[in-house]
Structure 1
């Protein structure tokens, strides 16, 4: 199911207290030594949050194994017209190409001959059966005629089946159609080009659902199980809330990848605008989420040397501290490690604090 909403976290009723720490405040708000004494720094108190997701892990969007369908021609021929291009959305039954083949014409002649043979066999079987009933000939001859009629009918049925499979007209024209609704992922034929019965000129990808390849850290491998719920935020237009799509864990590999030091897992997820195969996203494992952490305004979190940090008030100074950010949406960052409820963090003048900490 696809809904437009931010990730949900059951935070404690404590509000994020935003206060300007300047002159007259009970607690000093000057950053570490290099900050200007006149610098006013806004702060927030970390509030407890419960019911957090189990983890946020990297994932790549892929297609399920059964989502790709090859469209082949029943007989070799030449493409008279090609109606679609790569990337085009198609409905089931949409014409893909018009192909002319010589074999359907031959099959048409075979059908005519098979019909004539059936008529002849029916007449002979009827005549011999009557003679056998009158005792003029042996019953074995009538039985042989009946068997020949059955064989002639089988030949006719086979020829008709081949003609039906080709879907061609008397001139050998065949229309290749999309067997499923989706997107044209591959076109391997051009107008005037040859089409054989062994190579697929078209590949259609179903776009109704996707699969996620997840990397689970070794420390969480034992906690992630098939059936757990997942959520993925799909980027939308700038300034709009991300689109959240739900799914569930399908499988978890039993062994650790020696290169990534992680366990691979697969999850299914529904389709959504902006979700395409090959896309790299962050996935929240929300099933059985019962973790605890703290919530602070998103602007309190900054990157220092490739890691998330917050500036925590310590006496008269602000000290940078590494933290683990579990989620960051809707203006609130949820931190699972590195910060305790009740601690005060800076929410403004972050650039100045970083400069002071670097000196």
Structure 2
């Protein structure tokens, strides 16, 4: 019975020795494999290999083209209306709104009804008009009778002249009553219709059905559709360069850089610099566009007429490196980043005034990969 434990112990020692030998062999094998795998990674990539990797990128290019009338810069602006483009509609007489036909923002034609207002005064005007018509008929008959009697010598000529004067007075009264009735646009029940004096957009509705109206406040304001104005803030560096007649361009917000900008020109430039903002106020006119509304803030590109030199490249070629704008210029088989001065960016093209010459080739794709390669 005692032999069995000794055999078992011997077998246990044998297995331990075998396991230890196996672990040692495995460790040596792993060490050799690690040494083999580390040998290639210790070598640094050669410069030629990095250049070939850069050349392996599929890079699209564009040639910088000469641009005439290079913009002076981009400045902030606010869309406004010309002074004559906004018209207030007021009632001729005080009354109450019976019906309102339009809402704010609605497009109306000239003469379109805006509201129906009932007032007491138009009723009295209608009565005055009827009386004036009756009086003028009577005055005409009397004047004709007196003229005939005067010719026959029955009455003095002064009587005929008095009758003619009363006729003229009756005609003046009738004309005044007709003018008031036409101005009020009154109906037989004393209602008058307020109509749009111009075609455009209803910018303000200040009354509701049943509310009172008077001649001191305008219940409606109509804005004409047509050319718009832009109030510009010119920085001090551009104050002496911008002149009336210079061209401006506005990119319509929301239409993307490929959309054509709206063009216009400078109308006025203030003669002095604002002490608080250190800027000069200027006014420009531009054509109307669906995406431009009064009160909207936009960026305006001011061009210096026919003078100035620069180049134009696709906007995709421009990137920012270290807070400055750069393009990657092809030099031989590689692309080198170069700082440039961008003075305008619209319609998918960037206008560069300094740092790039016409005819040079720039990269327009794989810009992120080129930036990463240049930073190594």
1:93 paired with 2:111, answer yes
1:257 paired with 2:274, answer yes
Offset of residue 347 of structure 1: 5.8
Q: Secondary structure at the match of 2:153?
A: coil
Match of 1:191 in 2: 209
Question: Where do 1:49-64 residues align within 5 Å?
Answer: 49-58=66-75, 59-64=77-82
Bigger radius of gyration: 2
Match of 2:302 in 1: 285
Match of 1:158 in 2: 176
CA distance in 2, matches of 1:45, 1:85: 51
CA distance in 2, matches of 1:356, 1:23: 13
Alpha-carbon distance change, 163 to 276 in structure 1, aligned in 2, over 3 angstroms:
same
Residues 277-313 of structure 1: per-residue CA shift (max 9 Å, x gap): 12222223346233222444433433468x5422668
Offset of residue 252 of structure 1: 1.6
Match of 1:81 in 2: 99
CA distance in 2, matches of 1:73, 1:228: 43
Match of 2:19 in 1: none
Whether contact under 8 Å (2:317, 2:367) holds in the other structure is no
Residues 135-184 of structure 1: per-residue CA shift (max 9 Å, x gap): 23322222122111111111111111111111111111211111111111
Whether contact under 8 Å (2:74, 2:343) holds in the other structure is no
Question: Where do 1:300-339 residues align within 5 Å?
Answer: 300-303=317-320, 308-310=324-326, 321=339, 323-339=340-356
Structure 1 residue runs of 5 or longer lacking an equivalent are: 1-21, 31-36
Q: Secondary structure at the match of 2:133?
A: helix
Offset of residue 44 of structure 1: 6.2
Higher strand fraction (1 or 2)? 1
TM-score when normalising by structure 1: 0.78
Offset of residue 263 of structure 1: 2.3
1:126 paired with 2:137, answer no
CA distance in 2, matches of 1:197, 1:298: 56
CA distance in 1, matches of 2:313, 2:133: 82
Offset of residue 320 of structure 1: 7.6
Q: Secondary structure at the match of 1:289?
A: coil
Match of 1:33 in 2: none
Match of 2:187 in 1: 169
CA distance in 1, matches of 2:259, 2:295: 19
Residues 117-152 of structure 1: per-residue CA shift (max 9 Å, x gap): 222222222222223223233222221221111111
Whether contact under 8 Å (2:64, 2:362) holds in the other structure is no
Deviates more, 1:278-287 or 1:112-121: 278-287
CA distance in 2, matches of 1:202, 1:186: 5
Q: Secondary structure at the match of 1:116?
A: helix
- The number of residue pairs the alignment matches comes to 327
CA distance in 2, matches of 1:43, 1:330: 19
1:47 paired with 2:79, answer no
Offset of residue 100 of structure 1: 1.1
Higher helix fraction (1 or 2)? 2
Among candidates 309, 316, 333, match of residue 299 of structure 1: 316
Whether contact under 8 Å (2:129, 2:174) holds in the other structure is yes
TM-score when normalising by structure 2: 0.74
Among candidates 251, 263, 269, match of residue 246 of structure 1: 263
Deviates more, 1:272-281 or 1:185-194: 272-281
Alpha-carbon distance change, 213 to 78 in structure 1, aligned in 2, over 3 angstroms:
same
Q: Secondary structure at the match of 1:250?
A: strand
CA distance in 1, matches of 2:314, 2:184: 64
CA distance in 1, matches of 2:342, 2:284: 22
How large is the RMSD of aligned CA atoms in angstroms? Answer: 3.6
